[in-house]
Structure 1
């Protein structure tokens, strides 16, 4: 039995739920013009301080799940019998958000959590994180839906 598809759905579901939790805080920037009020910045920054620095080793679990997902996708590409298009579509749907998280979202979240920047820069960071999380959420949701459908045998 090939466990890679089960790992792909489990990991993407976990990452999707993590993004949902992030978006609960990120959504506070939506619809606001100009600089964010201090209570909003404090709420978002406090969340990201906890999520990126003070919650270790639990925060490392997200990185481990990302690694497992990428490894499972690689195993599935070499050992599975899925249609090529599914793997070609899946790679950027999973890899894109992971790369974005590692190169931009996490550094921005750590910086925002440190609260050392001006409020205008914290506002910019908050909005950037929100936009990145929306993109990542859509991508990871599409990935999850594809692999849930795949598990039903619909793709042959």
Structure 2
């Protein structure tokens, strides 16, 4: 099962990498409001990946669920050290919940470009922060799964 969990973690890291390529634009600007061209770039990206890409955008949620299922199966089978499975489950599970309840709704809202520039800037920075933490968590999951081999 660790191969499926590792593949899922790797896929999710690749998705996060693409997201971060747009998110890091927020890091170069210190003012409260990001420049219009930066907001447009990030907003257009999130509109494409959260709304325009339907039904393919559902694949990410499916991979999250399948990765969790693979990790749960790994824990139940008990083939590897307990801390590998439980550590992976805690890291992934605690990462997926805020992703689905906060990051994705924020990305959809940013993608709609309906809010004032101040709010869009706040959303863009919050998404960037969430994605950096998610990247770190999923990197740890991948390392744990590779240890299990």
The TM-score range, normalised by the shorter chain, is over 0.9
Match of 2:28 among 21, 28, 31: 31
Residues 8-47 of structure 1: pairs in structure 2 closer than 5 A:
8-34=5-31, 35-47=33-45
Match of 2:49 in 1: 51
Instruction: Name whichever of 14-23 and 27-36 sits farther off.
Output: 27-36
CA distance in 2, matches of 1:31, 1:91: 34
Instruction: Name whichever of 54-63 and 78-87 sits farther off.
Output: 78-87
Deviation of the 1:32 alpha carbon: 1.0
CA distance in 1, matches of 2:130, 2:56: 22
Report how many aligned residue pairs link the two structures. 148
TM-score scaled to structure 1, two decimals? 0.92
When the two chains are superposed, the root-mean-square deviation of aligned CA atoms in Å is: 0.9
Q: Give the ranges of 4+ consecutive aligned residues of structure 1 lying more than 6 Å apart after TM superposition.
A: none
Matched, 1:96 2:88: no
Match of 2:104 in 1: 106
Deviation of the 1:31 alpha carbon: 3.0
Runs of at least 5 residues in structure 2 that lack an aligned partner in the other structure: none
Runs of at least 5 residues in structure 1 that lack an aligned partner in the other structure: 152-156
TM-score scaled to structure 2, two decimals? 0.96
Residue 30 of structure 1: SS of its match in structure 2? helix
Instruction: Name whichever of 79-88 and 100-109 sits farther off.
Output: 79-88
Match of 1:144 in 2: 142
